[in-house]
Structure 1
Amino acid sequence: MHLAALSLTDFRTYTQLNLTLEPGVTVFVGANGLGKTNIVEAVGYLATLGSHRVSQDAPLIRFGTQQALVRARLVRHTQQLSLELEINARGGNRVRINRGNPVRAREALGLCRTVLFAPEDLDLVKGDPGSRRRFLDELIATLAPAQATLRGEYDRVLKQRNALLKSARAAGRFTENHRATLQVWDEHLAATGAQLLRVRVSLLERLAPHLAAAYRRLTDGSKELTARYRSTVVGHGPDDDDGLPVGPAEPASDLADLDTETIRRTFLAALEAGQKRDRERALTLTGPHRDDVELVLGEAPARGYASHGESWSIALALRLAAYELLREDAQAEGGEPILILDDVFAELDADRRNRLAAIAADAEQVLITAAVVEDIPASLTDRQMRVGPGVVEAA
């Protein structure tokens, strides 16, 4: 799959932008602040319905307007697909597929597949567990759009359970009515949480060999990179301070051996066992929303032990592993994801630049941004587009 045309209306700094693109590598070159990242952000949004830079949609809509439009024409073998995504300041976002009637934006999930790496991805290594959970959940939504609602359903139930805990604490007593209602929310949370946990662990098991291979390709191979799922539900309980899992991480393969019903019963028992502390804190301290993915380089946790260069390589390896997983996905036959490298090469040494360039050269379509073209290996600079204030033109 490749992106043949992209049009932006009132998206970020662009009043109107129309681009024609080709397979292979395209490098967007321009000084910082002129809109390079806005372009690739729009492409990434088509795939995930979210920005890699901000958590809300409002900043994506040009100031003073009420709606942004992202239009794209995608080519998959001999087939073409058009998408028009409306990002609205008020009301839900909508999408038109092949010029059809507007439908909910999530109907577009899976139609455009991208893997985007940006400087913000250092949080996957150095940041809090939320970044790593989000990485898994977004990849789940890309691979299996039907499962994209799992995390949202879980979060809605979690919000209701936490609201009940806060209400009970504010009332100064925990009544029988509170207890009965909490039991209902526990059942719902255990059911949705078990599905989410099962899918996450299965995904991590599929991702693991690609992750190890990607890190070896980016480095000299002297250290092995592995990933372990740390569950607050299965095998471990929360600690006394912040609710994060304690003890050694559960191997993903061991967790994957458990069926959803077993996880549901285990989760329900864990909620009941931790009810006293949850009531005291007015917060749910057990569940997939508190889990983590532990990245281990050699024998040491990457977080806190990996150097800056190693952290960059680990973050890149995570994205490249996702890219390889999408490539091999049976449902994506002929629909190879678009690889996006946003301001990446400036942070890498010459050796890692060349290793990444060799990987990128094999992709059907790569979109790269850079402040100066000298940061990009010469093998990737054949097709350049110069980005100026509100203007993008062939270099």
Structure 2
Amino acid sequence: MRADYDRVLKQRNALLKTARLPRGKAIETLDVWDGHLTDLGGQLLAARLGLIADLAPQLARAYAEVAGDGALAAGLGYSSTTPLAGDGAAMRPDGVLPTAAELTASMRERVAERRGDELDRGMTLVGPHRDDLVIHLGPAPAKGFASHGESWSLALGLKLATFALLRADGEDPILILDDVFATLDAERRAALAEVARSAEQTLITAAVLEDVPPELRGGRVEVGAGTVRVLDPGEVAS
């Protein structure tokens, strides 16, 4: 779906650029591409909103585990150029999502409103390609307000939420943790280690081996000084 949308978007942008030229007649075929764009765009928006609705509760749980007691609640929203798709506010767990057909109709209306602006600028100004996922921390968007530690915890929470969502769908993903334990206290290391132990396969990187909880120190690969060495589980790294 995304590949088809990108193809239509590319063609439509080319037509908008051509329509700006003197005596350009590409405008006559723009309506056809509008239909393709909004049909695919509505489907893509519906899929995105559905994914966010499924991911949001997983993020809330994962962030609470990583951030610890007293942390603000984490949430997800969607900021869209299509009014019906969202204004960036945190999505409510009991909210009713619009259908693909409703989103297509809303997007088509907005495209018609912005036609003049698009012709002036020679680009498509409405659609999923201009939308954003919005991460919330408490009542406000995290961007511009979250501290460095909160931002890091949100990034880790989002990774763990994605992992949990894939597992809920019957997948068995590999959990990759890139040098994350060094910045965690003992309680948070233990919580994250519990998640890692539940995964069938986990890949962990660390600059210092002691940062990794002992129960996760399985097969190891030491990289340094231009060499790569595979260590047995009981072997001490140099």
Q: Which TM-score tier does this pair reach, normalised by the shorter chain?
A: 0.7 to 0.9
Quick check: which one's helix share is greater?
A: 2
C-alpha contact 2:75 2:91 (8 A) present in aligned 1: no
The answer to whether residue 29 in structure 2 is matched with residue 181 in structure 1 is: yes
1:304 aligns to what SS in structure 2?
Answer: coil
CA shift, 1:190, in A, is 0.4
Question: Residue 352 of structure 1 aligns with which residue?
Answer: 188
1:98-126 per-residue CA deviation (whole Å, 9 max, x = no partner) reads xxxxxxxxxxxxxxxxxxxxxxxxxxxxx
Between the two structures, name the one with larger relative contact order (CA 8 Å, sep ≥ 6): 1
Aligned equivalents of 1:355, 1:282: Cα separation in 2: 51
Alignment of 1:141-180 (within 5 A): 150-169=1-20, 171-172=21-22, 175=24, 177-180=25-28
Question: Residue 164 of structure 2 aligns with which residue?
Answer: 324
Of 217, 229, 238, which residue of structure 2 is paired with 1:392? 229
Aligned equivalents of 2:113, 2:57: Cα separation in 1: 36
CA shift, 1:217, in A, is 0.9
Aligned equivalents of 1:232, 1:343: Cα separation in 2: 37
Question: Residue 99 of structure 2 aligns with which residue?
Answer: 259
TM-score (norm 1): 0.54
Question: Residue 139 of structure 1 aligns with which residue?
Answer: none
Aligned equivalents of 1:279, 1:253: Cα separation in 2: 39
Question: Residue 286 of structure 1 aligns with which residue?
Answer: 126
Alignment of 1:90-109 (within 5 A): none
CA shift, 1:254, in A, is 8.4
CA shift, 1:350, in A, is 4.6
The answer to whether residue 122 in structure 2 is matched with residue 271 in structure 1 is: no
Aligned equivalents of 2:103, 2:81: Cα separation in 1: 11
1:374 aligns to what SS in structure 2?
Answer: helix
The answer to whether residue 69 in structure 2 is matched with residue 229 in structure 1 is: no
Change (3 A) 1:158 1:255: farther
Question: Residue 119 of structure 1 aligns with which residue?
Answer: none
CA shift, 1:250, in A, is 7.2
Alignment of 1:5-24 (within 5 A): none
2:198 aligns to what SS in structure 1?
Answer: coil
CA shift, 1:273, in A, is 0.8
Aligned equivalents of 1:284, 1:265: Cα separation in 2: 17
Aligned equivalents of 2:5, 2:93: Cα separation in 1: 23
CA shift, 1:369, in A, is 1.3
Aligned equivalents of 1:230, 1:265: Cα separation in 2: 18
Aligned equivalents of 1:349, 1:280: Cα separation in 2: 54
Aligned equivalents of 1:254, 1:193: Cα separation in 2: 24
Aligned equivalents of 2:144, 2:184: Cα separation in 1: 20
Alignment of 1:69-218 (within 5 A): 150-169=1-20, 171-172=21-22, 175=24, 177-218=25-66
C-alpha contact 1:231 1:250 (8 A) present in aligned 2: no
The answer to whether residue 212 in structure 2 is matched with residue 379 in structure 1 is: no
1:199-243 per-residue CA deviation (whole Å, 9 max, x = no partner) reads 01011111111110001111224210010112211338xxxxxxx
2:3 aligns to what SS in structure 1?
Answer: helix
Aligned equivalents of 1:311, 1:355: Cα separation in 2: 18
- Which stretches in structure 2 are left out of the alignment for 5+ residues? none
1:40-90 per-residue CA deviation (whole Å, 9 max, x = no partner) reads xxxxxxxxxxxxxxxxxxxxxxxxxxxxxxxxxxxxxxxxxxxxxxxxxxx
C-alpha contact 1:339 1:366 (8 A) present in aligned 2: yes
Aligned equivalents of 1:320, 1:199: Cα separation in 2: 21
Change (3 A) 1:267 1:255: farther
Aligned equivalents of 1:260, 1:376: Cα separation in 2: 45
Change (3 A) 1:277 1:255: farther
Identity across matched positions, percent:
47
1:303 aligns to what SS in structure 2?
Answer: coil
CA shift, 1:251, in A, is 3.3
Aligned equivalents of 1:299, 1:221: Cα separation in 2: 18
Change (3 A) 1:315 1:250: closer
Aligned equivalents of 1:285, 1:309: Cα separation in 2: 35
2:156 aligns to what SS in structure 1?
Answer: helix
C-alpha contact 1:202 1:256 (8 A) present in aligned 2: no
CA shift, 1:310, in A, is 0.6
C-alpha contact 2:16 2:123 (8 A) present in aligned 1: yes
Aligned equivalents of 2:2, 2:92: Cα separation in 1: 19
Change (3 A) 1:327 1:254: closer
- Which stretches in structure 1 are left out of the alignment for 5+ residues? 1-149, 237-244
C-alpha contact 2:62 2:161 (8 A) present in aligned 1: yes
